[in-house]
Chain A
Amino acid sequence: MEDFIKDFSIKVEAVLKKLPIKEIAKALNILKAVYERDGRIYIFGNGGSLALATHWVSDFNKTVFSHHLDKHSRRFQAIRVPTTEEELTAWANDVGYDMVFAGPLKNYLQDSDVVIAISDSGNSPNVIKAVELAKSYHVPVIGLSGSDGGKLNQLADVKILVPTEKDEYELAESIHNIILHLMTKYFKDYFDHLVERQNKV
């Protein structure tokens, strides 16, 4: 039992050491730019990745500003797509499962927005459809993938590939969660810093 746990941690550690740091930095820049132009961030993925997306939205919209909720007239506008289970099932049932993200995304997407797509294989057809839609708008795409990155890593403007063995999705998803939390923490610190700096003047 202990060996299994140790082995797993060793693998996590090894992957963490290979994080694509420059790409993550580029993602932070893209998120800062979307904030400046008051655009929206759409995030999606399948299964556990959809859970990561929902979790991140709550952190990014609220936790980032939680130390000074009344100090910032503008906050992030992160939205999980689709926003309701009803839309998800309606698109899946009526049109096809490959349209569950691209379908609802098309209702919202504007030139000033950003898309974050999560897919461990990088090849989920519904994720790729939505990414292709975003690309056709020249909307920046941040792609979080695992394994060899698949199509998502080829298409994304920011290629956050967590290099794992094929089917090691537990690892990829865990690290994706860390990266998403890193984004939240970065902006939380940034906005705290701006308020502290303002208070000094």
Chain B
Amino acid sequence: MIITRAPLRVSFVGGGTDLPDFYRRYPGRVISTAIDKFVYLVINRTPLIPKVSARYSVSETVDHPKNLQHTRIRAALLDLGIEKGLEIGSFASLPAKTGLGSSSSFSVALMKGLHAYRGKKIDKKEAAEAACRLEIELVKEPIGKQDQYAAAFGGFNIFQFNSDGTVDIEPILLDYKKQTLLEDHMLIFFTGISRTASSVLTEQKSRIDEHFETYKKMADSVFDFKEKLIKGDIKGMAEILHQGWLHKKSLASNVSNNLIDSLYEAGLKTGAWGGKILGAGGGGCIMFLSPIDKKPAIRLAVNEIAKANNLSDFCEIPVKLVQSGCDIIFNGDI
């Protein structure tokens, strides 16, 4: 048995600039951090059972991977030529589609695990690339590359997406004081509205030309954000997030909606310095940076709105920053 895990991520600035229609013409950049919520992947050899099983929210057992319903596991097994004799199960600390990049964390953990299953150890970059290839080329998701890299590498990083398809990784070397300072000022709520990134990104992608200058500003603002982060200027970071959120809302009609807007406004009104929706938009999580003493008022205000709108899954997600990326945490194969 092999167990791998990969962290989810919180992306601060530059989301969307990791789409090829943009980075082929101008360097895309994203600044993000891995968080203490993980996707775990278990791969078990079943040499005496000539089947393939996939266990996630449903359980499938088939004679050949081509018959699997789970698109990513199916595509990965077919691509690697793995035909039978294994079970794959996934476990996660949070539900899917929360805007924290979990589907790419799943893909990175899957690719790292399947390569180990075949006796090949792959490094962080190879794991990120394998997951990008799986999701973008094989499954044809209209998504970017930031989440796969964030999950594979872990820690706080700036990722730069170059026109030739390569990705540069710049780790932000933050000491524990800055890390805990940020954690103490951060508030994340799951809106209770799930959506797939692809549903939002399809419209966004088709309108990149129209908004090219906005994307450029977003890609360039990672440097400003990094500077404020290194200084521990949380208020300054929040202002950049707020600007970024306004930019992002202008990119596609479905990035925000009245409900998300009212949650965000309630946060600002009760004292948050700024914030954004995490993930592609349309739902997922909402994040605020705020003074520590304003947190109770913000919690109260957003919970009231959630209640009034029957968002039964609305909840706060406490988050810590982590350094670990995708790891093989157990390898029982001999």
Contacts and interface: CB of A to CB of B under 8 A. Distances in A.
Interface of A: 22, 25-26, 29-30, 32-34, 36-39, 110-112, 136-138, 186, 189-190, 193-194, 197
A193 B180 contact: yes
Given A26-B171, A112-B328, A138-B121, A36 B176 contact: no
17 contacts: A33-B154, A33-B322, A36-B36, A36-B322, A37-B5, A37-B329, A39-B327, A111-B121, A111-B327, A111-B329, A112-B327, A186-B175, A189-B176, A193-B177, A193-B180, A194-B180, A197-B184
Given A26-B171, A33-B323, A112-B329, 14 more contacts: A22-B173, A25-B173, A26-B173, A29-B173, A32-B324, A33-B155, A34-B324, A36-B322, A37-B329, A38-B329, A111-B327, A112-B327, A112-B328, A189-B176
A149 B116 CA distance: 32
B122 interface: yes
Interface in B251-300: none
Nearest to A136: B121
B99 interface: no
Nearest to B173: A25
A110 B173 contact: no
A34 to B, nearest CB: 8
B323 A111 contact: no
Q: Give me the 7 closest cross-chain CB pairs, A-B, nearest first.
A: A111-B328, A25-B173, A33-B323, A33-B324, A32-B323, A190-B176, A36-B324
Interface in B9-39: 36
Q: Which of B122, B176, B329 has the most CB of A within 10 A?
A: B176
B331 interface: yes
B123 interface: yes
B244 interface: no
A36 B173 CA distance: 17
Contact of B331 (A30, A33, A111): A111
B325 interface: yes
B113 to A, nearest CB: 11
A29 B323 CA distance: 6
B171 to A, nearest CB: 7
Contacts of B173: 22, 25-26, 29
A197 B323 contact: no
A110 B155 contact: no
A37 B327 contact: yes
Nearest to A157: B123
A176 to B, nearest CB: 20
Contacts of B180: 193-194, 197
Contacts of A38: 329
A29 B155 contact: yes
A137 B155 contact: no
Contacts of B121: 111, 136-138
Contacts of A110: 331
A111 B154 CA distance: 16
B183 to A, nearest CB: 9
Interface string B168-187: 00010101110010001000
Contacts of B116: 111
Contacts of B323: 29-30, 32-33, 36
Contacts of A189: 176
Contacts of B176: 186, 189-190, 193
Contacts of B123: 138
A32 B274 CA distance: 29
Contacts of A136: 121
Contact of A29 (B5, B36, B171, B327): B171
Contacts of A194: 180
